Amino acid sequence: MLKGLKKQLLIQEGETGNVVYFLAVFLLVGSGMAIGRGTADALFLKRLGIEYLPMMYMIQSLLLAAVSLVYAAFADRIIAEKFCRIIFSVLTLLVFASWVAMSRSDGSLVYPLYYLLYEIASEILLVHAALYMSQNMTTMQAKRLAPLLYAGSQMGIILGGLLLAAAVPIVGTQNMLLVWCALLLPGVLLIITWHRRKGPSTHFRAPPRGSRIFRECTNQVKQGLRYSWSSELLRAGSFALFFMVTAFYILCYSTHRVYAQTFETEADLAGFYGMLTAATSSIALLIQIFVTNKAIRRYGVRRINLLFPLTTLTAMSALAVSFTLPAALFGSFNKDAIMPAFRNPVRTLFYSVIPTYIQGRARAISVAVVLPAALFFCGLLLSVMQKLDSPEFFLLPGMAAALVYLHFNRRMNRAYEGTLINTLKERLFLPDKRLYSELHGASKEVLDEIVQGLNHEDPEVAIAFARLLAGSFPEQAAELIFARIDSANTATADQLLGLLGEIDLSQYRERLYKLAERGDEHFQATVIHQLAGQKDPGYLEQAANLLEHANPRLRAAGIHFCLHQPATGKQHEQLAQEWLGLIQGNTGTCKAGLTLIPDLSLIGPQHRERLEDAYQKAFVHMLTIDATNTRISTLNGLSRWERPLPDTAYPALLQALSDDNPETRAAATRCLPLKGNHSRTPHILHAASDSHPGVREAGVNALKAISEDYSASVLRLILENTPPLRGQIALLESLEQPGLPKVDCERLAINKAEEACQLQDALTTMEAGEGPDSPAGSLIRLVLQERLNQTIQLALLALEPLYEAGTVKIIRAGFASGDRRHIENAIEVLGNLECCNATKLLLQVLTRMHDDQRAYHAPGIDTINGVIEWCATHPDKWLQQCAEYFIQETKTEDARV
Amino acid sequence: MPVSDLFKRLLLLKHSQIFSMVSTEDLRMVAGSLEQVQFFRGDRIFEINDQGDHLYLLVSGKVGISIDTDPGSRNFIATFGPGDCFGEMNLLDDLPRSATALVLEDAVVLTLEKSRLRGLILSYPEISIGMLRSMSMRLREANLRAPAAPENQENDNARDA
């Protein structure tokens, strides 16, 4: 039963002690406040008169500003429990002093003072209790438990109200002050005992100590104001609060006026206030327990935020129509039931999305500036209006204030989402886009960074930066890379030179000639390839001499150079002979000949045919050689082949696709787009799902090469679940900006989120299955879990273009980390993003992942057999195989039985 | 290898700490590289200070782990049964064995050789990413419980043997 109650009240494991403690604190605060409020109102109205009430509002506003200024200075500095103790103790002393003053003198000054004491205390107590709670809970805990704890304070108010109604006829209104003192003292003891056992508040972070606290007091208010001005949410919230206070106090004044007229004696009025407080608080309590949380979850914070302005407007209108007890009762119901049940929890949630370090100041600004200003304005308005003998004169401004309040609450709603995301980003320490924007573009700083990398002593680092330089700063690249080549060893120089292939090197011919004389023959060949690209006739003689060189690579370089120069038919005949000699020679010459494949278009058709025949034979032969380097070179050559794939080479190509060496797999994948290869798509998709990123990249590039509309192909393949999930992720990541249109992204995200729901259903069914755990069952569960994680990753990738990158990162962190705070943040973001079915589904998945709720949505997978059948027909081959294994194992087991 | 054997091996690997975060698809490669070895009661699978280059997955039987340098010692810091895995850390480092593994009941063991795993990692790097995640998780767990439960630490040491 206790478990059921905890579930109903959303109390999670390990929280019970904390919840009971805070309930007790809120209970004591609430009951004391009910007594204080009933006695303060009754004593003031009957012993002084309602005509002084507007003046009290004005004095109250000034006092509130002063007290709150001090509160603002200390709220973030003093640990909340210590501050709580101080407030409780001081209040006890002042209430007792008021009672002594009332007993000893019959002067009327003590009544307004006591009234002011109660009003100030009630404001500070409520604000501080919320801060105290938030310093002891995480955001999500506070969000989940705040309604329950506010319900605790309501329970206290009910008990206090009932006590007041029952005890006033016996002990009198004045002596109830002692009862309030008697309730405050155990509160102090409770706080001391609890924190002695549990230690200080866990979420309190003390600011650095300083000696000028009172000077800082005003600074803090200024900081709070400045932040309020820069934050759309706080700005709208401050205006909303101003008009809410104005409307609220006009409503208070109106109801007090009706009650003071209706109840003649002080005891009757105090008793009535006790009963009224108990009744309105009971209703508020019931709403808080059974409605508030569910309503916030169902309709969202933003819609519930509009409820109180609307009911205030209604109450004000009712009083304007009929200034009698029923309308006043509705007004009291609005301010004492609707307000604590809906407005206060929602207001706390709005505060919880602003950064933690400013929350205390922001609350203090509300109490120290906005509330006093509104109250003073209201008091001034009422003191003028009450002289006119009709209630409409103050009710109409009240209605106007309620309308403006409604308007600003709508503006708060609009600002809520943006503030929430910014705050959560800060909490996750996500880097801002601005940090990266400076790195893009051709700024000198970026170039200096790259040059520094290019000159790094590690050749791999230097080559990586040279590649970046050639790609991003082609104008400066040649000079800088040539300078680096001068100090590099031959192997590094060879690779650096290769990176200049796309750049015009006509100005650097002399340097290339010099380089051709340097280093080994391999490097010379690379230099000649570069010179050939420049169509430089100055080197023709040396190149022609190379045709008879012993090194096949230099021979190939010579042929390459000569082919790029104007030549006669006889010269072409000679070149073709040399070329054929390379291809038909041994493995070494053949490898050199493979580099000439792109030059086939440069030779006459009569020679080309002979060469192509020779190449086709060479491919088959070279691919069967059991030497990885030779096979990779052959595959690289084959990938440049512009004719249909030779049938004879196909079996060797297939074998290379499943080679253990990833370079071989990648090279084989690069051959897949060749014409005549009709079964290329499944192999390409398989490669795009490879365990090696290099092979995946080759697979993605191969798909790009064969697709007319790559983005559309990727979308279709992913929606149809054709490649394995790893491949789907690689394909989706490969889409360059702007990528898919937003409508397709949303479609994809919804599709994958739905799949995630199905996978989660299947997994839940398997986990809930009865009987002994079979190996096949364990395997299915593992694979389903893996597929679920990958599908979520895909859905989030698809969501990225729809939202700011930081937003999706927060959600991803929630799914991937398993960390409670990240999960809470992700739930918060998913629950507040603009309407998209995918986010709703993902929220459902995330909540179910961690709340252990079992709910089946997909028909047919609510039984183990259903799940196995579903897996056996799933497009995912690995899932299919696991399901078949399960079926086979079950049959074997049945046969054994 | 029959399919059912492959799946059983895969599950054994998945339950070992070092491969727990490697995806089942990538583990297929590792499962195919395991070799089955039969040991009899009283055999020593490896001895303390041996140069270790294998990981062991116990398919059946019972194995005791002792850190006593006395070869006749029956003082075991841990005993392993079917499904348990030991000698994991030797796949990643080159330190000598820190314990002796004695067969207490006839055992069938699957072994994975270090050089074979290194080859697999180079060919299928996702395996190493999964292994790194497993190691990171294990490190976090060890950090969390280090001061609290020395008995858990002891069990971990035995696995690392």
Q: Would you say residue A843 lies in a domain?
A: yes
Structure tokens at A265: 């004696």
Does A782 contact B24 at a Cβ distance shorter than 8 Å?
yes
CB neighbours of A561 closer than 8 A, spacing ≥ 6? A528, A529, A531, A532, A539, A540, A543, A546
Is residue A43 within 8 A of residue A173, CB to CB? The reply is yes
| Mean pLDDT, residues A474-491 taken together | 83
Q: Which amino acid is at A443?
A: S
Give the C-alpha distances (Å, rounded to integers) separating A875 from A718, A870, A872. Answer: 11, 10, 9
Looking at beta carbons, which residues of chain B come within 8 Å of A693?
A: 125
Write the pLDDT tens digit of every residue in A33-46: 899 999 999 999 88
Chain A residue with minimal CA distance to B21?
A786
The neighbouring-strand residues paired with A595 are: none
> Last residue of a domain, which of A451, A479, A503?
A503
What is the rounded distance in angstroms from the CA atom of residue A445 to the CA atom of residue B17? Answer: 46
- Both A774 and A792 in a single domain? yes
Structure tokens at A459: 């050749």
Give B80→chain A minimum CA distance, Å. 19
Structure tokens at A693: 């990123």
What is the rounded distance in angstroms from the CA atom of residue A890 to the CA atom of residue A615? Answer: 54
Structure tokens at A864: 């183990």
DSSP characters over A652-720: HHHHHHT-SSHHHHHHHHHHTTSTT-TTHHHHHHHHHT-SSHHHHHHHHHHHHHH-SSHHHHHHHHHHT
Specify the pLDDT at position A445: 59
Band (pLDDT 50/70/90 cuts) for residue B161 is low
Does A786 contact B23 at a Cβ distance shorter than 8 Å?
yes
Q: Is A692 on the interface with B (CB under 8 A)?
A: yes
B114: left (phi over 0), alpha (psi -120 to 50) or beta: alpha
| pLDDT over 50 (residue A303) | yes
- Both A600 and A496 in a single domain? no
| Mean pLDDT, residues A606-624 taken together | 85
Q: Which amino acid is at A80?
A: A
Residues 545-564 of A with CB under 8 A from B: none
Specify the pLDDT at position A618: 86
Q: Is B27 on the interface with A (CB under 8 A)?
A: no
What is the rounded distance in angstroms from the CA atom of residue A713 to the CA atom of residue A785? Answer: 28
Say what angle helices A293-304 and A344-352 make with each other, to 10 degrees.
70
Looking at beta carbons, which residues of chain B come within 8 Å of A662?
A: 122-125
Q: Which of A661, A779, A888 sits opposite B10 (nearest CB)?
A: A779
| pLDDT over 90 (residue A664) | yes
Phi, psi (5° rounding) for residue B62?
Answer: -140, 140
Write the pLDDT tens digit of every residue in A362-398: 766 777 788 889 999 999 999 888 877 777 778 888 9
- Both A463 and A520 in a single domain? no
pTM metric for this prediction: 0.60
- Both A188 and A49 in a single domain? yes
User: What distance lies between CA B77 and its chain's CA centroid?
Assistant: 16
Residues 862-881 of A with CB under 8 A from B: 878, 881
- Among B4, B8, B24, the strongest candidate for a mutation testing the A interface, having the largest count of A CBs within 10 A, is B24
Q: Would you say residue A801 lies in a domain?
A: yes
Give A662→chain B minimum CA distance, Å. 5
- Both A56 and A155 in a single domain? yes
Q: Would you say residue A10 lies in a domain?
A: no
Q: Is B60 on the interface with A (CB under 8 A)?
A: no
The CATH number of the domain holding residue A313 is 1.20.1250.20
Give the C-alpha distances (Å, rounded to integers) separating A463 from A109, A457, A476, A595, A802. Answer: 87, 10, 16, 22, 37
Does A776 contact B7 at a Cβ distance shorter than 8 Å?
yes
Chain A residue with minimal CA distance to B128?
A691
| pLDDT over 70 (residue A744) | yes
> Last residue of a domain, which of A428, A454, A471?
A428
Give the residue among A670, A587, A589, A598 at the shortest CA–CA distance from A628: A587
Structure tokens at A310: 């609307």
Give the residue among B65, B75, B70 at the shortest CA–CA distance from B159: B65
- Among A628, A661, A686, A691, the strongest candidate for a mutation testing the B interface, having the largest count of B CBs within 10 A, is A691
Domain that residue A558 falls in = 505-623
Does B123 contact A693 at a Cβ distance shorter than 8 Å?
no
Sign of the torsion angle spanned by Cα atoms A339, A342, A345, A350: negative
Write the pLDDT tens digit of every residue in A398-429: 999 999 999 998 888 877 766 665 655 554 44
Mean pLDDT (chain A, rounded)? 82
End-to-end CA distance of chain B: 29
Percent of chain A with pLDDT over 90: 20
| Mean pLDDT, residues A557-570 taken together | 78
- Both A542 and A484 in a single domain? no
Structure tokens at B82: 């079917």
| Mean pLDDT, residues A2-28 taken together | 78
Maximum Cα–Cα distance across chain A: 131
Band (pLDDT 50/70/90 cuts) for residue B156 is low
Q: Which value does ipTM take for this structure?
A: 0.84
What is the rounded distance in angstroms from the CA atom of residue A604 to the CA atom of residue A571? Answer: 11
Is residue A515 within 8 A of residue A490, CB to CB? The reply is no
Q: Would you say residue A819 lies in a domain?
A: yes
Q: Which amino acid is at A391?
A: P
Structure tokens at A676: 């005549």
Sign of the torsion angle spanned by Cα atoms A817, A821, A823, A829: negative
> In this predicted model, which residue has the larger pLDDT, A638 or A387?
A638
Q: Which amino acid is at A403?
A: L
Q: Would you say residue A871 lies in a domain?
A: yes
Looking at beta carbons, which residues of chain B come within 8 Å of A776?
A: 7
| pLDDT over 90 (residue A805) | no
Number of H helices, E strands in chain A: 43, 0
- Both A224 and A289 in a single domain? yes
Structure tokens at A354: 């602003």
- Both A244 and A102 in a single domain? yes
Band (pLDDT 50/70/90 cuts) for residue A247 is very high
Does A692 contact B127 at a Cβ distance shorter than 8 Å?
no
Chain A residue with minimal CA distance to B10?
A779
Give the C-alpha distances (Å, rounded to integers) separating A366 from A138, A410, A504, A888. Answer: 23, 18, 67, 69
Which stretch of A135-144, A249-258, A487-496, A582-591 has the lowest confidence by average pLDDT?
A: A135-144
Strands B78-80 vs B100-113: parallel, antiparallel or unpaired: unpaired
Specify the pLDDT at position A562: 84
Specify the pLDDT at position A140: 64
Does B123 contact A662 at a Cβ distance shorter than 8 Å?
yes
Q: Is A741 on the interface with B (CB under 8 A)?
A: no
Count Cα atoms within 13 angstroms, Cβ side, for A65: 13
What is the rounded distance in angstroms from the CA atom of residue A824 to the CA atom of residue A814? Answer: 7
Q: Coil, strand or helix: which one is A442?
A: coil
Q: Is B126 on the interface with A (CB under 8 A)?
A: yes
Q: Would you say residue A593 lies in a domain?
A: yes
Write the pLDDT tens digit of every residue in A813-856: 888 887 777 887 888 788 777 657 888 888 888 888 776 554 55
| Mean pLDDT, residues B100-127 taken together | 90
Band (pLDDT 50/70/90 cuts) for residue A793 is very high
Write down all domains in chain B, each with its CATH number in brackets. Answer: 3-160 (2.60.120.10)
Q: Would you say residue A683 lies in a domain?
A: no
| pLDDT over 50 (residue B108) | yes
- Both A407 and A519 in a single domain? no
What is the rounded distance in angstroms from the CA atom of residue A894 to the CA atom of residue A776? Answer: 14
Count the neighbouring beta carbons within 10 Å of the beta carbon of residue A345: 25
Band (pLDDT 50/70/90 cuts) for residue B109 is very high
Sign of the torsion angle spanned by Cα atoms B92, B95, B99, B102: positive
What is the rounded distance in angstroms from the CA atom of residue A452 to the CA atom of residue A446? Answer: 10
A860: left (phi over 0), alpha (psi -120 to 50) or beta: left
Chain B residue with minimal CA distance to A787?
B23
What is the rounded distance in angstroms from the CA atom of residue B110 to the CA atom of residue A163? Answer: 76
What is the rounded distance in angstroms from the CA atom of residue A752 to the CA atom of residue A248? Answer: 49
Specify the pLDDT at position A438: 35
| Mean pLDDT, residues A200-227 taken together | 62
Specify the pLDDT at position A837: 83
Looking at beta carbons, which residues of chain A come within 8 Å of B60?
A: none
Give the C-alpha distances (Å, rounded to integers) separating A465 from A291, A472, A484, A491. Answer: 62, 10, 11, 16
Does B124 contact A692 at a Cβ distance shorter than 8 Å?
yes
Give the C-alpha distances (Å, rounded to integers) separating A121 from A26, A94, A244. Answer: 14, 10, 20
Band (pLDDT 50/70/90 cuts) for residue A8 is low
Write the pLDDT tens digit of every residue in A453-473: 888 878 888 888 888 777 777
| pLDDT over 50 (residue A441) | no
Domain count, chain A: 4
Residues 765-784 of A with CB under 8 A from B: 775-776, 778-779, 782-783
What is the rounded distance in angstroms from the CA atom of residue A543 to the CA atom of residue A546? Answer: 5
Q: Which of A660, A661, A779 sits opposite B11 (nearest CB)?
A: A779
- Both A345 and A251 in a single domain? yes
Q: Is B7 on the interface with A (CB under 8 A)?
A: yes
- Both A254 and A344 in a single domain? yes
- Both A513 and A589 in a single domain? yes
> Last residue of a domain, which of A428, A451, A466?
A428
Does B24 contact A693 at a Cβ distance shorter than 8 Å?
no
Band (pLDDT 50/70/90 cuts) for residue A595 is confident
Q: Would you say residue A3 lies in a domain?
A: no
What is the rounded distance in angstroms from the CA atom of residue B159 to the CA atom of residue B141? Answer: 15
| pLDDT over 50 (residue B59) | yes
Give the C-alpha distances (Å, rounded to integers) separating A647 from A550, A616, A664, A669, A682. Answer: 34, 9, 19, 16, 18
Is residue A886 within 8 A of residue A864, CB to CB? The reply is no
Number of Cβ pairs < 8 A linking chain A and chain B: 49
Specify the pLDDT at position A254: 92
Name the range with the highest mean pLDDT among A138-142, A353-357, A632-636.
A632-636
Does B24 contact A786 at a Cβ distance shorter than 8 Å?
yes
Looking at beta carbons, which residues of chain A come within 8 Å of B3?
A: 881, 885, 888
Q: Which of A660, A779, A888 sits opposite B123 (nearest CB)?
A: A660
Q: Which amino acid is at A272?
A: F
